[in-house]
Amino acid sequence: KTSHSTSLALSSAGGAAAEAEDSGSSALAETLKTGSYFALWYLFNIGYNIYNKQALNALDYPWTIATIQMATGILYFVPLWLLGLRKAPKLSGDDLKTLLPIALCHTGVHVGAVIALGAGAVSFAHIVKASEPVVTCVVNA
């Protein structure tokens, strides 16, 4: 029998979840939890797109705004690593070679989404942002 912490680790890591004694209610709870994450992601994404559109209406420099957003991410996690509040990842050269195309695709789609917000309606940006997983998979296939 798998412990609760192992089950949680397997579940959050994308692996097969450990067998639960009450699998019916556990499966329903897991489905509701996952659905809640998708709903929250979508709601936050709408807010993010509207905020970006307002920023682009005030300052029509999509490349600059996208660069500032990416730099803000760096300014967020590097201090966490340096202060030991979050463990820094240990990546080998092979790991970096694997992650580089994914990171470049993610950056490209992020910049494309910001440019799309500046070029047209928020709904058009949704289409561009929805292509991110597809672009990443095609490039890394």
pTM for this predicted structure: 0.62
The structure tokens 């939890």 sit at 33
Mean pLDDT value across residues 128-135: 72
- What b/e string do you get for 7-37 counting C-beta neighbours within 10 Å, with b at 16 or more? beeebeeeeebbeeeeeeebeeeeeeeeeee
> Which of the two residues, 95 and 8, has the higher pLDDT score?
95
- Find out whether 118 and 56 touch, Cβ atoms under 8 Å: yes
Interval 65-80: pLDDT, tens: 999 988 998 899 999 9
Q: Residue length, the chain?
A: 141
3-state secondary structure the chain: CCCHHHHHHHHHCCCCCCCCCCHHHHHHHHHHHHHHHHHHHHHHHHHHHHHHHHHHHHCCCHHHHHHHHHHHHHHHHHHHHHCCCCCCCCCCHHHHHHHHHHHHHHHHHHHHHHHHHHHCCHHHHHHHHHCHHHHHHHHHC
Q: What is the mean pLDDT of residues 53-76?
A: 90
